Amino acid sequence: MASGKVEICGVNTSKLPLLTNEEKEELFEKIEKGDSSARQKLIEGNLRLVLSVIRRFSSAGENADDLFQVGCIGLMKAIDNFDRSLNVKFSTYAVPMIIGECRRYLRDNNAIRVSRSLRDIAYKAIYAKEKILKEEDREPTIDEIAKEIDLEKEMVVMALDAIATPVSLYDPIYQEGGDALYLMDQVKDKKNKEDNWVEDISLKEAMKRLSDREYNIIKLRFFEGKTQTEVADEIAISQAQVSRLEKNALRNMKAYLDI
């Protein structure tokens, strides 16, 4: 990869803006109020961060433009999922997300070579999806994505499938201190929506020993099959807090049940 390349994906990297922490905070506040232009400014103001991350992969021999686009996807995901209440620097949160996107891309690209044109379609589809999601606050359909980039939906599906990467359920997607949030924590468990094991007396007794908040989290997660994100939205706390409380509750229940 040409890490010293000045222009990447049509962007002159020597003229990329640099935001102060105060400017980032102001932009996040505007984003939370639905200002889409603030999101774009925040993306542009963090492109230097993407550039610094992809330089770590200079020995991979990959095209700088491709890695930059992939890194930008990681940046957008970081912006859309960043929780300011955690008192963590945005760059601390964003760097692992960008690195993760790059590693998944390299892993997939080394296993199966996907044509440049197909990858370009996939990137356009991902950008279109992010745009519609931000503007309408909902997941767009394939038809809507295809219409946005003026392509047939079959081509969009083929392109997205071509760059899809298998991941482990135990891949960490966020880590703060000693608490890691794994992909498995975000998977719904529809099987346990059935109440056949709720009748277990000892389990009920173990749950009675939890705090009201822990009890509610366990009920929503394992009896109603909700993800940690959905639970966090319902009880108005951060996803990281849900993760910590859930793990503490399960630890206490296991101790009581002597598992």
Q: What is the pLDDT of residues 151-181, one digit of tens each?
A: 888 888 888 876 665 555 555 555 555 555 5
Whether the pLDDT of residue 81 is over 60: the answer is yes
CA dihedral 130, 161, 104, 137 (to 10 degrees): 20
pLDDT at 201 over 70: no
CB within 8 Å of 121: residues ≥ 6 apart: 149, 151, 155, 156, 159
pTM above 0.75, yes or no: no
pLDDT of residue 149: 92
What percent of the chain has pLDDT above 70? 73
Q: Where are the beta strands (DSSP E) in 109-229?
A: 172-176, 179-182
pLDDT, mean of residues 175-189:
55
Residue 132 phi/psi, 5-degree rounding, is -65, -40
- Check whether 79 has a pLDDT greater than 50: yes
**Cβ-based neighbours of 218, under 8 Å, separated by 6 or more:** 207, 210, 246, 249, 250, 253
Q: Given this model, what pLDDT does residue 172 score? A: 58
Residue 236 scores a pLDDT above 70:
yes
The average pLDDT across 131-156 equals 87
Say if residue 197's pLDDT is above 80: no
| Coil, strand or helix at 35 | coil
Cβ atoms < 10 Å from Cβ of 21: 10
Please give the Cα distance from 107 to 103 (Å, whole number): 6
pLDDT given at position 30: 92
Confidence of residue 3 (pLDDT cuts 50, 70, 90): very low
Q: What is the mean pLDDT of the chain?
A: 77
Kindly give, in sequence order, each residue whose CB lies less than 8 Å from that of residue 201, ignoring residues fewer than 6 positions away: none
Of 171-175, 187-191, 218-222, the range with the highest mean pLDDT is: 218-222
- For residue 232, give both structure tokens: 């966090």
Across-strand partners of 172? 182
Q: At residue 199, does pLDDT exceed 50?
A: no
Q: What is the DSSP string of 194-234?
A: S-TTTT-HHHHHHHHTS-HHHHHHHIIIIIS---HHHHHHH
- Over residues 38-67, the pLDDT tens digits come to 999 999 899 988 988 888 877 666 777 888
